[in-house]
């Protein structure tokens, strides 16, 4: 990939290329979906979360269908594939998106926002009326190493009644205990249990990292959310880009990047 190409998905079955960018998002109901009125690529957020956390700015991702493989419901498999593939450093200064002022979007009591900070963090809280989940909050200080250890293995989750409803409509046919945490009204159905005691809120952070990566540059700022979703994250990216006073895109020199390399290595 050439410098400044960004993250581009290519559907080999229909010969369609689409850039991962806010203006190309066509659906956020159950996953982040990009494309157009004719063709789309769904569930890009878990892969993008890994791509972003590995500091990859330019990549062409080839898929042969309408959905990125869900793997085990986390980003862990994508991290392993990126480790195997490696990356090439291009002869151009790397771009960062610096948050200059607070930007927030809301839906009732739910919200997602970014605020200026030179030390990126993701602070997420959830509150589910379920005995296993209940209230959870996690503050994640962003770095590649911390992402791999604290976030990448957190799986997506869903409720058995919702899965049954979706399947009755011909959806989520590939969903199983192999690629998600599934809960009934009282307990987790996965025999192996959880990977983290607060795996649910950690996965929400994983999603948020992937969703915000559509901004097209490494973000220097804080993200905070209560009961956020793909839809709120998408609205937040659009709101950030709506006013140039909200952010500054800076190409940092190698010397300046060295000051940040512990975070963005």
DSSP result, 131-186 = TTTSEEEEEEE--HHHIIIIITTPPPEEEHHHHHHHHHTT--TT--TTSSEEE-SS
**Cα distance between residue 159 and residue 126, in whole Å:** 16
Q: What is the pLDDT of residue 89?
A: 86
19-33, 85-99, 207-221, 234-248: segment of lowest average pLDDT: 85-99
CA dihedral 17, 23, 26, 32 (to 10 degrees): 90
Burial class for 123, CB neighbours closer than 10 Å (0-12, 13-18, 19+)? middle
**In the numeric block, which tokens belong to residue 60?**
């062409």
Residue 171 lies in a domain: no
| Number of domains making up the chain | 1
> Can you give the pLDDT at residue 56?
94
Query: Looking at the domain assignment, is residue 87 inside a domain?
Result: yes
User: Over 50: is that where the pLDDT of 173 sits?
Assistant: no
**100: domain range?**
7-155+195-264
Distance of CA 111 to the CA centre of its chain: 17
Residue 30 confidence (pLDDT): 86
pLDDT of residue 44: 97
What is the average pLDDT score of the chain? Answer: 91
pLDDT for res 137: 98
CATH number at 23 reads 3.30.1700.10
Give the pLDDT band of residue 90 (cuts 50, 70, 90): confident
Query: Is 77 inside any structural domain?
Result: yes
Q: Any catalytic annotation for residue 230?
A: yes
Residue 168 lies inside a defined structural domain of this protein: no
| Gap between the Cα atoms of 115 and 205, Å rounded | 16
Q: Using 50, 70 and 90 to split pLDDT, how confident is the model at 184?
A: very high
- Residue 172 inside a domain? The answer is no
Nearest Cα residue to 2 out of 58, 82, 77, 64: 58
- Average pLDDT on 87-104 reads 91
Tell me the C-alpha distance between 128 and 229, whole Å: 13
In a domain, 215, yes or no: yes
Confidence of residue 251 (pLDDT cuts 50, 70, 90): confident
Pairing status of strand 181-183 against strand 40-41: unpaired
Position 186 confidence tier, pLDDT thresholds 50, 70, 90: very high
> How much is the pLDDT for 37?
86
Average pLDDT over residues 215-237: 97
Under a CB-based contact definition with an 8 Å cutoff, are residues 82 and 50 in contact?
yes
Closest C-alpha among 82, 86, 45, 100 to residue 67: 45
pLDDT at res. 175: 57
In tens, the pLDDT along 112-170 reads 999 999 899 999 999 999 999 999 999 999 999 999 999 999 999 988 877 665 555 55
Q: Is residue 161 part of a domain?
A: no
Residue 258 has pLDDT above 70, yes or no: no
Residue of 252 and 119 predicted with greater confidence: 119
Q: What is the CB-side half-sphere exposure of residue 32 using CA atoms within 13 A?
A: 30
Residue 185 lies in a domain: no
Among 46, 203, 230, 234, the active-site one is: 230
pLDDT, greater one: 253 or 56: 56
Tell me the backbone φ, ψ of residue 42, rounded to 5 degrees: -105, 160
What's the pLDDT score for residue 257? Answer: 61
């Amino acid at each position: 990939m050439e410098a400044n190409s960004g993250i581009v998905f290519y559907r080999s079955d229909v010969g369609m290329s689409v850039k991962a960018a806010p203006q190309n998002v066509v659906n956020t109901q159950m996953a982040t979906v990009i494309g157009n009125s004719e063709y789309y690529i769904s569930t890009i957020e878990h892969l993008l979360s890994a791509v972003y956390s590995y500091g990859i700015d330019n990549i062409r991702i080839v898929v042969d269908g309408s959905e990125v493989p869900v793997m085990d419901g986390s980003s862990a498999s994508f991290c392993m594939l990126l480790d195997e593939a490696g990356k090439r450093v291009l002869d151009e200064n790397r771009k960062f998106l610096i948050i200059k002022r607070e930007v927030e979007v809301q839906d009732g009591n739910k919200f997602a926002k970014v605020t200026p900070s030179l030390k990126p963090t993701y602070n997420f809280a959830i509150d589910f009326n379920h005995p296993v989940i209940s209230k959870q909050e996690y503050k994640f200080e962003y770095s590649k190493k911390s992402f791999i250890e604290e976030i990448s293995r957190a799986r997506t989750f869903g409720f058995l009644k919702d899965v049954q409803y979706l399947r009755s409509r011909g959806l989520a046919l590939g969903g199983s205990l192999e690629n998600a945490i599934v809960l009934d009204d009282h307990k987790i159905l996965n025999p192996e249990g959880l990977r983290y005691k607060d795996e649910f809120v950690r996965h929400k952070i994983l999603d948020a990292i992937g969703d915000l990566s559509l901004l097209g540059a490494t973000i220097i700022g804080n993200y905070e959310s209560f009961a956020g979703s793909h839809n709120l994250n998408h609205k937040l990216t659009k709101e950030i880009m709506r006013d140039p006073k909200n952010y500054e895109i800076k190409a940092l020199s190698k010397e300046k990047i060295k000051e940040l390399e512990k975070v963005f290595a």
